Structure 1
Amino acid sequence: MASPAVTSFSPVRDVCDYELLFDCVHCGLCAEACPTYIVTRCEMDSPRGRIYLMKSIAEGRIELDDDAARHLDLCLGCRGCETACPSGVHYGRLIEGARSFVERNHRRSLVDRLKRRAVSAIFPYPNRLRMLLAPLKLVDRLGLTAALRTIAPRTIRDWLDLLPSLEGRERPLASESTVAPRADAPTVVVHHGCVAQVLANSENLNSERILAAAGYRVVQLEPTACCGALDLHSGNAARARDFARANVRALKKSGADAIVSAASGCSVAIEEYADLLKDEPDFVEDARAISSRVRDLSSLLLDAPANPKREFRGRVTYHDACHLVHGLGVRDAPRKLLASIPGVTIVEMTESDLCCGSAGSYNLTEPAMARELARRKADNIVATGADYVVLANPGCEFQIAAELRRRGSNIKVVHLADFLAMASR
């Protein structure tokens, strides 16, 4: 009997790194780690389904229509599938490539285009964001926030709900360290990010002061450019590379032994500069060196020359920020650090590493799915009976705090750096 004919395909469109698609063996173990699949139960909203979709578009077997673009847009880029995958599929690289292809080749609705352009034009630039928020600070001081929400369109109301308090976030909670580090102590630089330095700068400042108190020599990075994560997630790879080059130059000049960010998404973006700039001879070696120096705050503190602690009583649950746990593989260190504080009781939550729906600017561009995931996360947090939920990413903090406020919950949402500062006072 003759063997059946084998149909072979080759890429006719530059959707993503085509060869990486073949690492997926379509086992489906990623599905239950995927937040959008858990919610929709639609195969094309799973990592396996999206990989099949990317391959089909690349090979010209289907067109990039509204439906195909919708399934790709709905991905959070949380990379939970990478942790679950036994084959080591680089899904993050695939979805970033596919999104870049979508941005180049698909025309969105007018409203969608305006939302995305607003995020792209403002969020990576701290001075622009400060200018935008200045009137909101005045409205808040005059007690007119409720009135503004009443007259604002639904999209604007949703965005306003995500904003933290605009007062007091630019000052540290910890006092200045009076202990001079040893001359041979390791040096650390804290990348202040773009949104974080405007809406949650206490997390940057507290990271620096806690590291200094632990015996590290903290050096400053001036100026700080956006890490590029927002652009990578939204398909603007060209500007992401521009930001990466600027950061590679500045981080190299700092001479720091370790690079930390209070935003886990920024940490992963910097850690992947080696891949992002791999085709640029003038930057690739420096990018590799910078990528190798990315560390997590909790890991550095556990390895610190000194680690002073004071008693702080409270029940704490920990939320795993997606890029910290799935991108950098950091899961145990924050828990060990919190458990080492006298008086702190750790209470594990269900689905601690399932995305909360923040995902960079996802909660601004995909509010319905983001809100559904926020509700699921808040349900699990409330079930713990904790006083505090601690996390390592400001975006997660804003997203979860907004949902808990809607419920009238008294649970406090605190970044790890701010919590450590509170516990050390």
Structure 2
Amino acid sequence: MQTNFSLAQLADPATKASEKILRTCVHCGFCTATCPTYLLLGDELDSPRGRIYLMKDMFEGGKAASAEVVKHVDRCLSCLSCMTTCPSGVHYMHLVDHARSHIEKTYARPLSDRLLRAVLAFVLPYPNRFRLALLAAKIGQPLRPLVSLLPRVGNRLAAMLDLAPAQLPNRVPSDRPGTFPADLSAQEISATIQGDTAPVTRRGRVALLRGCAQSVLRPDFNEAAIRLLNRHGVEVVQAAGEGCCGALTHHMGKEESAHAHARRAIDAWTAEIDGAGLDAIIVTASGCGTTIKDYGFMFRDDPAYAQKAARVSALAKDVTEYVTAIGLMPPVVDTDFTVAYHSACSMQHGQAIRTEPKTLLKKAGFTVKDVPEGHICCGSAGTYNILQPEIANRLRARKVANIERMQPDLIATGNIGCATQIGKGTGIPILHTVELLDWATGGPKPEALEGVVRPTSALLAAAE
């Protein structure tokens, strides 16, 4: 794509990076075939190609964002399916991130929209605030019919109430900064079973992202990850002072807030790297993983953080990437369940992790089925299901219909947002991949599986 930026414009690092991305686009339109919003709405401006034209015009003209640009950029899920599809390698993520930041700086949103976004940025990245907000949402559930009638924000407030869990999970002992030592006894047992007589030693030391929303909504995800990693001979540390990775506010265009969160995380992990050392930084929420792996780009022009951020990005691994690298123990329980694997967009498109989770589940004894239209977003997309609830609900209905068509016993995914979004649309138990791997290799049976009858058990019962 031909561009027309002045030298003064290209002196801005963000504009220079966007200009380079724009020049790689050849207008082929392959991206329209896999874009969820174009699929639903059929509007060229709600496709990646259409949005690229809008962003190019805005950036080249040095213009403040217009209502038209904001409407179509806001409708973008940042699912990055277009990046997987694009034959030219257009880095759409960096382009739309720049656009969101530009919108935040130059566009005066309606007051109700500004207030809602400010509340989300004030609450979601902070576990204690988020917990209080969920308790308030539980109390406010009876008012949902009235709330939905409020002008402009009623549908969004109703979406927030709908997404809140009926019961807030209890805090777990492992949800704290600290070190969780490797369980070498489990390694010795596994080695004996496999006939390996070599001395058993610690296999690694990793940091595990505690994060923000996930630690409140599903603390059992990280608890399972700690058990799984410890059982495989890996010491796990949850670094003091880490907090939110910045992904939530980053995708809302709140660059200053996102970078502040990211810097705290970088500093916390750098202290561990420079101290006892780290082999990896493990992430169990793929939306966070995509952002952390992009820290190197985010801080490329920050002299104080560029090197530290690049080092953190290089160490970041999804839990399934890391377990694949060290090898999964053989299963010790009967895992005769059919699992529909939902690959989060941030996993398959953002990080290009497509086979590892499914391969691990198969090694753990599960029968794994791919979901039809697996490349299409479920509608979660960070805060999208709150800010764009109508589109998000349509995408969830489509995703749930495709999953239920497979008639699985369980659903597995690697992202808290997807688990929450899909879980609100189906009665099929939805678990994190790491929960199933933990159970298969000796961990406790996940609570979500209580009452789920194994297919073989059901057949035996019917035969009696």
Q: Same fold (TM over 0.5)?
A: yes
TM-score, reference length from structure 2: 0.82
SS at match of 2:316: coil
Letter in 2 for 1:318: Y
Letter in 2 for 1:254: E
Paired residues for 1:183-222 under 5 Å: 183-222=201-240
Structure-2 residue corresponding to 1:393: 415
CA deviations 1:214-238 (Å, max 9, x no partner) are 2212122112221111122111112
Q: Percent identity?
A: 35
Paired residues for 1:139-288 under 5 Å: 139=139, 147-153=142-148, 154=154, 155-168=156-169, 170-171=171-172, 178-179=183-184, 183-255=201-273, 256-288=278-310
Paired residues for 1:312-351 under 5 Å: 312-342=335-365, 344-351=366-373
Task: List alignment gaps of at least 5 residues for structure 1.
Answer: 1-6, 140-144, 405-409
Shift of 1:117: 1.3
CA deviations 1:231-267 (Å, max 9, x no partner) are 2211111221112211111111122211111110111
Shift of 1:189: 1.3
SS at match of 1:187: strand
Letter in 2 for 1:105: T
Q: Is the 8 A contact 2:73 2:100 kept in 1?
A: yes
Match of 1:413 among 401, 420, 430: 430
SS at match of 1:234: coil
Q: May I ask how many residue pairs the two structures share in their alignment?
A: 405
SS at match of 1:30: helix
Paired residues for 1:22-101 under 5 Å: 22-60=23-61, 64-101=65-102
2:228 and 2:24 map into 1 onto residues whose CA distance is 42
1:76 and 1:339 map into 2 onto residues whose CA distance is 30
2:44 and 2:59 map into 1 onto residues whose CA distance is 19
Deviating more after overlay: 26-35 vs 149-158: 149-158
Match of 1:360 among 361, 374, 382: 382
Structure-2 residue corresponding to 1:407: none
SS at match of 1:189: strand
| 1:388/1:186 CA distance change after superposition, 3 Å | same
Q: Is the 8 A contact 1:301 1:307 kept in 2?
A: no
CA deviations 1:310-334 (Å, max 9, x no partner) are 2212111101111111111100000
Structure-2 residue corresponding to 1:290: 312
Task: List alignment gaps of at least 5 residues for structure 2.
Answer: 149-153, 175-180, 188-199, 445-464
2:173 and 2:283 map into 1 onto residues whose CA distance is 16
Q: Which has the higher contact order (CA 8 A, sep 6+)?
A: 1
Deviating more after overlay: 178-187 vs 116-125: 178-187
Shift of 1:212: 0.9
Shift of 1:196: 0.9
1:110 and 1:281 map into 2 onto residues whose CA distance is 36
SS at match of 1:353: coil
Structure-2 residue corresponding to 1:3: none
Letter in 2 for 1:227: C
SS at match of 1:98: helix
2:141 and 2:213 map into 1 onto residues whose CA distance is 24
1:223 and 1:57 map into 2 onto residues whose CA distance is 38
